[in-house]
Structure 1
Amino acid sequence: MSATDPSTLRRGVGVLAVAVREEPWIFTVALAASALYGVAPVATSWTLGRITEDVILPAFREGRTTAAALAGAGLAVFGVAMLRVVGVIGRRVGAGIMQFRLQATYRRKVARRYLRLPLSWHQRHPAGQLLSNVGADVEAAWAPVVPLPSAIGVAVMLVAAMVSMFTVDPVLAAVALLVFPSIGLLNVVHQRRLTPLAQRAQALRAETSDIAHESFDGALVVKTLGLEEHETARMSEAANRLRDANVAVGRTRGRFDPLLDALPSLGILSVLAVGTGRLAAGAVNVGELVQVAYLFTMIAFPVRAFGWVLAELPRSAVGWARVRHVLDAEGDLPTGRLRLSDAGPISLDTRGVSYGYDDSLVLHDVTLSVGSGRTVAVVGPTGSGKSTLATLMVRLVDPVRGDVLMDGLDAREMRSGEVSSAVAFVPQETLLFDDTVRGNVLLGLELPDEQVWEALEAVQAAEVVRALPKGLDTRVGERGATLSGGQRQRIALARALVRRPRLLVLDDATSSIDPQVEARILGGLRAARVPSTLVVVAYRQATIALADHVAYVDRGRVRDSGTDAELRARCAGYRDLVTAYEHEDDRDDRDGRKSRDGRKGRDSGELPQAAPDDTEGRTA
Structure 2
Amino acid sequence: MTDKDVLRRGMQVLGVAIREEPRIFAAAVGASALYGATTVASALILGQVTDRVIVPAFRDGETTTAAMVTTFAVVFGIALLKALGIVGRRLWAGVMQYRLQATYRRRVTRQYLRLPLAWHHRHPTGALLSNANADVEAAWFPIAPLPMATGVVVMLVLAAVSMLATDWALALVGFVIFPAIFFLNVAYQRRQGPLAMRAQELRADVSAIAHESFDGALVVKTLGRENEEAARFEAAARELADANIAVGRVRALFDPLLEALPSLGVLLVLLAGSIRISHGDLDPGELVQIAYLFTLLAFPVRAIGWLLGDMPRAIVGYDRVRSVLDAEGESSYGDAAAEKTGPAGLQARAVRFGYLDGADVLSDVTFDVEPGRTVAVVGPTGSGKSTLVSLLVRLVDPSSGAVLLDGTDLRDFRAGGVAAAAALVPQQAFLFDDSIRDNITLGLDVPDEDVRAALRIAQAEEFVDRLPDGIHTQVGERGTSLSGGQRQRIALARALVRRPRLLVMDDATSAVDPRVEAAILAGLRDGGTGPSTVVVVAYRKATIALADEVVFIEDGKVAGRGPHQELLESSLGYRRLVDAYERAARDREQNAAAAPADDLTEDEEVPA
TM-score by length of 2: 0.96
Confirm whether residue 377 of structure 1 aligns to residue 367 of structure 2. Answer: no
SS at structure 1 position matched to 2:553: strand
Conservation of the 8 A alpha-carbon contact between 2:126 and 2:210: no
Q: How does 1:250-265 map to 2 (within 5 A)?
A: 250-265=248-263
Larger mean CA deviation between 185-194 and 428-437 belongs to 185-194
Aligned to 1:249: 247
SS at structure 2 position matched to 1:391: helix
Aligned to 2:180: 182
Aligned to 1:479: 478
Aligned to 1:524: 523
Count residues in correspondence: 606
* Offset from partner CA, 1:303-327 (integer Å, 9 cap, x none): 1111111111111111111111111
1:611 and 1:172 map into 2 onto residues whose CA distance is 91
Aligned to 1:430: 429
Aligned to 2:265: 267
Task: Report the CA distance between 1:529 and its aligned residue.
Answer: 1.3
Give the one of 156, 159, 162 matched to 1:158. Answer: 156
Q: How does 1:175-214 map to 2 (within 5 A)?
A: 175-214=173-212
Aligned to 1:489: 488
* Offset from partner CA, 1:224-248 (integer Å, 9 cap, x none): 1111221222233233323333333
Confirm whether residue 412 of structure 1 aligns to residue 411 of structure 2. Answer: yes
Q: Which amino acid aligns with 1:408?
A: G
Conservation of the 8 A alpha-carbon contact between 1:541 and 1:582: yes
Q: Which amino acid aligns with 1:106?
A: Y
Aligned to 1:457: 456
Unaligned runs of 5+ in 1: none
Q: Which amino acid aligns with 1:532?
A: S
1:272 and 1:348 map into 2 onto residues whose CA distance is 89
> Relative to 1, partners in 2 of residues 1:79 and 1:614: Cα closer, same or farther, differing over 3 Å?
closer
Conservation of the 8 A alpha-carbon contact between 2:342 and 2:501: yes
1:483 and 1:563 map into 2 onto residues whose CA distance is 36
Q: How does 1:284-323 map to 2 (within 5 A)?
A: 284-323=282-321
Task: Report the CA distance between 1:463 and its aligned residue.
Answer: 1.1
Task: Report the CA distance between 1:419 and its aligned residue.
Answer: 1.0
Task: Report the CA distance between 1:67 and its aligned residue.
Answer: 1.1
2:100 and 2:295 map into 1 onto residues whose CA distance is 35
Confirm whether residue 364 of structure 1 aligns to residue 363 of structure 2. Answer: yes
1:614 and 1:54 map into 2 onto residues whose CA distance is 90
Conservation of the 8 A alpha-carbon contact between 1:188 and 1:307: no
Conservation of the 8 A alpha-carbon contact between 2:156 and 2:300: no
1:204 and 1:335 map into 2 onto residues whose CA distance is 37
SS at structure 2 position matched to 1:290: helix
Give the one of 165, 168, 172 matched to 2:166. Answer: 168
> Relative to 1, partners in 2 of residues 1:198 and 1:102: Cα closer, same or farther, differing over 3 Å?
same
1:122 and 1:211 map into 2 onto residues whose CA distance is 17
1:42 and 1:301 map into 2 onto residues whose CA distance is 12
Conservation of the 8 A alpha-carbon contact between 1:187 and 1:304: no
Task: Report the CA distance between 1:594 and its aligned residue.
Answer: 4.0
Conservation of the 8 A alpha-carbon contact between 1:198 and 1:249: yes
SS at structure 1 position matched to 2:490: helix
Give the one of 53, 58, 61 matched to 2:59. Answer: 61
Give the one of 603, 613, 616 matched to 2:603. Answer: 613
Identity among equivalent pairs (%): 58
* Offset from partner CA, 1:429-471 (integer Å, 9 cap, x none): 1111111111211111122222111111101111111122222
Aligned-residue CA RMSD (Å):
1.8
2:549 and 2:410 map into 1 onto residues whose CA distance is 23
Aligned to 1:98: 96
Aligned to 1:399: 398
Q: How does 1:530-545 map to 2 (within 5 A)?
A: 530=529, 531-545=531-545
Unaligned runs of 5+ in 2: none
2:271 and 2:453 map into 1 onto residues whose CA distance is 90
Conservation of the 8 A alpha-carbon contact between 2:199 and 2:240: yes
Aligned to 1:84: 82
Task: Report the CA distance between 1:93 and its aligned residue.
Answer: 0.9
Task: Report the CA distance between 1:412 and its aligned residue.
Answer: 1.2
> Relative to 1, partners in 2 of residues 1:166 and 1:344: Cα closer, same or farther, differing over 3 Å?
same
Task: Report the CA distance between 1:592 and its aligned residue.
Answer: 3.2
Conservation of the 8 A alpha-carbon contact between 1:380 and 1:577: yes
SS at structure 2 position matched to 1:341: coil
2:196 and 2:412 map into 1 onto residues whose CA distance is 49
SS at structure 1 position matched to 2:552: strand
Larger mean CA deviation between 67-76 and 581-590 belongs to 581-590
TM-score by length of 1: 0.94
Task: Report the CA distance between 1:56 and its aligned residue.
Answer: 2.0
Q: Which amino acid aligns with 1:429?
A: Q
Conservation of the 8 A alpha-carbon contact between 1:512 and 1:614: no
Q: Which amino acid aligns with 2:394?
A: R
Task: Report the CA distance between 1:576 and its aligned residue.
Answer: 1.2
1:294 and 1:558 map into 2 onto residues whose CA distance is 86
Task: Report the CA distance between 1:515 and its aligned residue.
Answer: 1.4
1:542 and 1:614 map into 2 onto residues whose CA distance is 21
Conservation of the 8 A alpha-carbon contact between 2:349 and 2:401: yes
Give the one of 216, 225, 228 matched to 2:226. Answer: 228
Q: Which amino acid aligns with 2:141?
A: A
SS at structure 2 position matched to 1:213: helix
Confirm whether residue 512 of structure 1 aligns to residue 506 of structure 2. Answer: no
* Offset from partner CA, 1:345-393 (integer Å, 9 cap, x none): 1111111111111132211121111111111111111111111111111
Aligned to 1:498: 497
* Offset from partner CA, 1:159-191 (integer Å, 9 cap, x none): 111111111111111122111221222222223
